[in-house]
Amino acid sequence: MKKIQIINGPNLNMLGLREPDVYGSRSFDDYLTELRKQYPDVEISYFQSNHEGDLIDCIQTVGISADGIVLNAGAYTHTSVALHDALRSVPAPAVEVHISNVHQREEFRHHSLISAACRGVICGFGLDSYRLAIEALIH
Ligand code: DQA
- Return the CATH number at 36: 3.40.50.9100
Cα of 70 to ligand 1 centre, how many Å?
Answer: 14
- The predicted pLDDT at position 1 comes to 86
Domain count, the chain: 1
Tell me if residue 98 is catalytic.
Answer: yes
CB of 100 shorter than 6 A to ligand 1: yes
Q: Is residue 5 over pLDDT 90?
A: yes
Run of H or E including 47: strand 42-48
What is the Å distance from ligand 1's center to 43 Cα?
A: 25
Mutate to test the pocket of ligand 1, among 22, 71, 97, 98 (most ligand atoms within 8 A of CB): 98
pLDDT digits (tens, 9 = 90+) for 54-89: 999 999 999 999 999 999 999 999 999 999 999 999
Query: How much distance in Å is there from the Cα of 97 to the middle of ligand 1?
Result: 9
- What is the position in ligand 1's atom list of the atom closest to the CA of 78? 4
Ligand 1 atom nearest residue 75's Cα: 6
Q: Are 38 and 77 contacting, i.e. CB atoms less than 8 angstroms apart? A: no
**Domain residues for 28?**
2-138
pLDDT one-digit tens code per residue, 100-119: 999 999 999 999 999 999 99
What digits encode the pLDDT tens for the residues 15-55? Answer: 999 999 999 999 999 999 999 999 999 999 999 999 999 99
111 included as an active-site residue: no
Give the DSSP H/E element, type plus range, for residue 32.
Answer: helix 28-38
Cα(20)–Cα(85) distance, integer angstroms: 32
3-state secondary structure of 139: coil
